[in-house]
Amino acid sequence: MGAATGASGRVEGPWPHLLVALTFITGMIDAVSFLELGRVFVAAMTGNVLILGLGLAGYGEMLPPGLALISFAAGAACGGRLLRARFEQRRHRLLPAGTAVQTVLIAMAAVLSSRHGFSESWVRWPNIALLAFALGWEYAIVRVLKVPHLNTTVVTTTLTSLVAEPAAPPAQRHRLLSIAALLSGALTAGALRPVLSPAGLLWLAVLILLLGCTVVGHLAAERIEARHRR
């Protein structure tokens, strides 16, 4: 069972709440990676393609964006194929299960950062790989669910749809929420950078994900209970 859409275009169920939280986390983590891991993105693959192209032309490093692209693709392949096959008949469990795995991956990066910081250059590579894999995994699951107007990673498509395609107010609100959540995540990471270490920001992302899963689980349970009462 996927996220249902009502006649008004409103996405029903608890999905939008967790997807907005995931978008916020994406903004946070991409900001951390750009500021701390050497001007590389772990979610915005368009940026990495451009950075890689500049690196090939002799303007910057090629390994960080290349590693991020490969890791993101690997995460997307696993999230899109393995999880879809396992949860094809239980789509209502796909997002919680996928988010749980993503939370573990980000926590692994947070542990690595807590122990070693970023003083040693080798720490960059596993962090880039873990975070890019986690966000590729997330985006593949979002694509499988096909929740309208909520995109956790790609703002270009959402922004174009917002200004170029007529839609009902609920759809436009979801598009605005998606853009605002990504912006807010990056803003939060930047604002907290003077007081939190990169590891602290990653742990904050883990905490938000855990809270988001808890809230959505509670809402889903209430929804199921309400259906049984009818």
CATH of domain 15-229: 1.20.1250
Going by the DSSP 8-state scheme, the letter that residue 98 receives in this structure is H
**Cβ atoms of residues 6 and 208 within 8 Å:** no
The pLDDT tens digits along the chain (230 residues) read 344 434 333 335 666 778 889 999 999 999 999 999 988 999 999 999 999 999 999 998 999 999 999 999 999 999 888 776 676 666 667 787 888 999 999 999 999 999 988 767 788 999 999 999 999 999 988 887 777 777 788 788 888 888 888 777 777 888 898 899 999 999 999 999 999 999 999 999 999 999 988 877 767 667 766 666 66
Domain range annotation of the chain: 15-229
Residue 81, both tokens:
């194929």
pTM of the full structure: 0.87
**Cβ atoms of residues 38 and 58 within 8 Å:** no
Q: Where are the alpha helices (DSSP H) in 117-168?
A: 124-145, 155-164
C-alpha–C-alpha distance, residues 199 and 114, integer Å: 5
C-alpha–C-alpha distance, residues 27 and 133, integer Å: 15
* Residue 115: Cβ within 10 Å count: 9
Q: What is the CA radius of gyration of the chain?
A: 18
Residue 7, both tokens:
């006649």
C-alpha–C-alpha distance, residues 45 and 97, integer Å: 24
